[in-house]
Amino acid sequence: MSLLRKSVNSMPDHSNLDPSGSLVEQFLLEPIASGPLDGLSFTVKDNIDIASRKTSYGNPTWRDRHPAPQYNALCVDQLLAAGGHCVGKVVADEFTYSLDGESQYFGTPRNAKAPNRIPGGSSSGSVASVANGVSDFSIGTDSGGSIRVPASLCGVWGMRPSLHRISEAGVLPFMPSVSTVGVIASSHEQLNSVVRVLLRSNARPAAPLKRILVLSDAMETADDPVRAAAEVALNEISHRTGVDLQTVSFAQIVGDDTPLSDCNENALRVLQSLEFQNTVGSWIENNAPEIGTSFSMAYENVRHLDRHEAINCLDLCERFFEAIQAVMISGTVICFPTTPVIAPLKNTLNSMEAVLDFYGRTMTITAFSGVGRLPEISAPLLTVDGCPVGLSFAAGHYQDEFLLSAVKKMLGS
Amino acid sequence: MSLLRKSVNSMPDHSNLDPSGSLVEQFLLEPIASGPLDGLSFTVKDNIDIASRKTSYGNPTWRDRHPAPQYNALCVDQLLAAGGHCVGKVVADEFTYSLDGESQYFGTPRNAKAPNRIPGGSSSGSVASVANGVSDFSIGTDSGGSIRVPASLCGVWGMRPSLHRISEAGVLPFMPSVSTVGVIASSHEQLNSVVRVLLRSNARPAAPLKRILVLSDAMETADDPVRAAAEVALNEISHRTGVDLQTVSFAQIVGDDTPLSDCNENALRVLQSLEFQNTVGSWIENNAPEIGTSFSMAYENVRHLDRHEAINCLDLCERFFEAIQAVMISGTVICFPTTPVIAPLKNTLNSMEAVLDFYGRTMTITAFSGVGRLPEISAPLLTVDGCPVGLSFAAGHYQDEFLLSAVKKMLGS
């Protein structure tokens, strides 16, 4: 495979040099020690620092105004110290503030299993590099679904670990109460190896799987064929493990009549906007960078958020977190489709109605683990209309190792 | 009280305008709503954003090269929305990377109860503003003890909540796996009110106090008179609550012969240096700022850290965290002197031997809650040679509300 370094500030032509469209820059960082990742290649999302190479954050002005970092992000060094080798930096959506993966500046990475469809974002390049065989695994970040959504839409494994279990040193600040570093891989086995390196997991045996919950509102949010495919897969899992499926609604978890959509609309989405004002919004207002059309539309909502009114979302986030914690006791996995839809066709998210439907329904589901600070794995188990869609498994906060072993058991792998 | 805005880049003269020496800038931010903090004034450490005012991070070049932020840090807005009013920004040690509170650029805030002694840092101005009556409470940050140490040395209340329970949006990035936003106050009652606002705690009753542990290595690290005073206070607490004291060593917690000093020397201190390279070190290398003598000495160690070797500290941090978690079950409080010493006299931390003794012994104690991600309260309960020193109480990760109520019960207040 011969992939040349591409110019960053012009619209790249992926057709020849990098058929995956995932790479921003190609290079080789050798391992610094031997370990469980010996022989495995990885790519790094372009909001995670690589020493001496500019971090673009998906925006050309950000890239131009910030010098190259002096150090690799701590998570990158962890992977190199475990035997992995890094083969390049990959495309991120602008300021990682998107779920569609169509970057105006860095192109749209290829959805390997559905090439006429979007890959999803914002870890679009990470997922595409794995799905197209450019690397064995990739590291990205996830706040509102930025690992889980493209993993679902491209048919690879993706995990967002528990909030703050992986160091964010050298990762550009985004939404401190929400953002996590996570992993994309092509198999459960590799996902497990990489995540355990980053979590520094010991060999302590995880709790046994006792309860499988199915989040009913998430199932109802999905398109009929996605829900039907999820039901088939979940029944197989129940049969395989001998553990009954228990349906639970978000209202039952919270103990009132709150719909799942509140997790996003009145809690996580508002918190994200508040924190984005601090971490990136302030820089944008002070620097007036060039910004893309699609980000510009999203940013208008952030910019006009009334902080005084919005701050009440913090109480709701805390209340939802506590309610979810109380349900997600040891031995419990909760399941739902990662996304309510298969990947939309390219260039179809161009009306406000289409955008609102895709983002609204998708984040209704993804916000659950966000508010719950839960580890979540999207497994490429479902196929609808010939396109991949993920089935998600989440466990309690800090129960990452249990989740990895429970999913292995549930899939009989 | 008439306190004028001071010039930041010259050595300030505190003698007349601000006898506390704590203020960098005085102003009034009115509350944005009424709430539990009605009528209470607060100050903000100068690594936490206030809209339209430059954040210095304790360094003049940082201040000059960064425009004023557009938004208040989220924690500041939470306090304003709960009825508090902000009266100014206060001194922080350079890049908050110190425990002594003697800033070459912003002066040494006054230790109200021991004016010939240092106040401790890095939240020196926060603590001094409370101890000298400039504000009712203050918010600061704590990574290696930056709230707890000055609270101990100046005789006020200080709390470092569980890691990541308070939003860091708008707080300058320091050590993402270690740093917390926390509170300094003049009474347990006010500390409790302010912390509960920031944590968005609900009214759910906390677990009852069941076990009081005493961390023996921390007691042994303290000067004899500090240990003796702590023993008297702890025996009173045991008598008052009817709960026996149980002595435990760090080796017993970890299950081998690890000394408490490993928490700092081989774990937290190394992790801090690794993360500081990413968050501030890279900026220093790229910008060659003016830096002070004392910070310069500390930074040399950070700069020459071998990341490849240092990265093993992550495994130790995780192992210690898990061991501490296993002991700090519901209903458990662990106690120890906050600092091993009363405040050193001013201008005595000027030999390598003195610096190593103060930092080495102090961080041997403070690193315990750092590695454990524990909430810790330093209470101004002890007096040695007429000077204050704190007694600390820590609880399990995320058991902040339990800790607040347990400490209230233990002190009979």
The fold of B23-199 is Amidase signature (AS) enzymes (3.90.1300)
* CB < 8 Å to A281, chain B: 70-71
* CB < 8 Å to B49, chain A: 278, 282
So what's the architecture of B211-261+311-410 in CATH? Alpha-Beta Complex (3.90)
Domain extent listing, chain B? 23-199, 211-261+311-410
DSSP A391: E
Cα dihedral B190, B196, B202, B206 sign: negative
Q: What number of other Cβ atoms are within 10 A of residue B70's Cβ? A: 18
Taking only the tens place, the pLDDT of each residue in A363-404 is 999 999 999 999 999 999 999 999 999 999 999 999 999 999
Q: What number of other Cβ atoms are within 10 A of residue B276's Cβ? A: 26
Q: What number of other Cβ atoms are within 10 A of residue B26's Cβ? A: 19
Looking at residue B357, what is its pLDDT? 95
Contact of B87 with B42, CB cutoff 8 Å: yes
Beta bridge partners of B336: B392
Residue B77, chain A, CB below 8 Å: the answer is yes
Nearest by CB: B200 against A71, A281, A315: A315
- Give the phi and the psi of residue B71 in degrees, each rounded to 5: -135, 150
Nearest by CB: A70 against B199, B285, B318: B285
Residues 168-207 of A with CB under 8 A from B: 168-170, 173, 175-177, 199-202, 204
Beta bridge partners of B50: B53
* CB < 8 Å to A73, chain B: 278
Q: What three-state secondary structure class fits A359?
A: helix
Q: What number of other Cβ atoms are within 10 A of residue A115's Cβ? A: 10
* CB < 8 Å to B141, chain A: none
Question: What angle separates helix B400-410 from helix B224-241, to the nearest 10 degrees?
Answer: 90
Give the integer Cα–Cα distance in Å for B277 and A361. 40
Taking only the tens place, the pLDDT of each residue in A342-373 is 999 999 998 889 999 999 999 999 999 999 99
| Among candidate residues B370, B330, B404, B393, the one with its CA nearest the CA of residue B146 | B370
Q: Quick one: average pLDDT of A202-210?
A: 83
- Give the phi and the psi of residue B405 in degrees, each rounded to 5: -75, -35
Give the integer Cα–Cα distance in Å for B118 and B126. 14
* Contact flag A277-B71 (C-beta cutoff 8 Å): yes
| A9 has a pLDDT exceeding 70 | no
Nearest by CB: A278 against B71, B163, B199: B71
Taking only the tens place, the pLDDT of each residue in A146-171 is 999 999 999 999 999 999 999 999 99
Give the integer Cα–Cα distance in Å for A296 and A250. 33
Strands B332-337 and B387-394: antiparallel
Give the integer Cα–Cα distance in Å for B372 and B2. 43
B197 to chain A, closest Cα gap in Å: 9
Interface test with A, best of B65, B76, B167 (most A CBs within 10 A): B167
| A204 has a pLDDT exceeding 90 | no
Q: Quick one: average pLDDT of A35-56?
A: 98
Beta bridge partners of B239: none
B358 residue type, one letter = F
Contact of B127 with B120, CB cutoff 8 Å: yes
DSSP A5: -
B186 residue type, one letter = S
| A232 has a pLDDT exceeding 50 | yes
DSSP-assigned states of every residue in B318-384: HHHHHHHHHHS-TTEEEEEESSSSSPPBTT---SHHHHHHHHHHHHHHHHHHHHHT--EEEEEEEEE
Side-chain-facing half-sphere of B371: CA atoms under 13 Å: 33
Is the fold of A23-199 the same as that of A211-260+320-410? yes
Beta bridge partners of B107: B103
Residue A285, chain B, CB below 8 Å: the answer is yes
- Give the phi and the psi of residue B274 in degrees, each rounded to 5: -60, -50
Supply B15's token pair.
């003698």
Interface test with B, best of A30, A53, A74 (most B CBs within 10 A): A74
Supply B32's token pair.
């944005």
**A38 dihedral zone (left: phi>0; alpha: psi -120 to 50; beta):** beta
Interface test with B, best of A32, A70, A166, A278 (most B CBs within 10 A): A278
Q: How would you write the pLDDT of chain B (413 residues) with one tens digit per residue?
A: 333 333 344 444 444 468 999 999 999 999 999 999 999 999 999 999 999 999 999 999 999 999 999 999 999 999 999 999 999 999 999 999 999 999 999 999 999 999 999 999 999 999 999 999 999 999 999 999 999 999 999 999 999 999 999 999 999 988 999 999 999 999 999 999 999 999 998 767 789 999 999 999 999 999 999 999 999 999 999 999 999 999 999 999 999 999 999 999 999 999 999 999 999 999 999 999 999 999 999 999 999 999 999 999 999 999 999 999 999 999 999 999 999 999 999 999 988 899 999 999 999 999 999 999 999 999 999 999 999 999 999 999 999 999 999 999 999 97
A29 residue type, one letter = L
| Among candidate residues A384, A368, A113, A386, the one with its CA nearest the CA of residue A227 | A384
Give the integer Cα–Cα distance in Å for B135 and B138. 7
Cis peptide before A122 (omega within 30 of 0): yes
Supply B144's token pair.
């290696």
Supply B124's token pair.
């020196």
A296 residue type, one letter = S
Q: Quick one: average pLDDT of A179-198?
A: 97
What CATH class is the domain A211-260+320-410? alpha beta
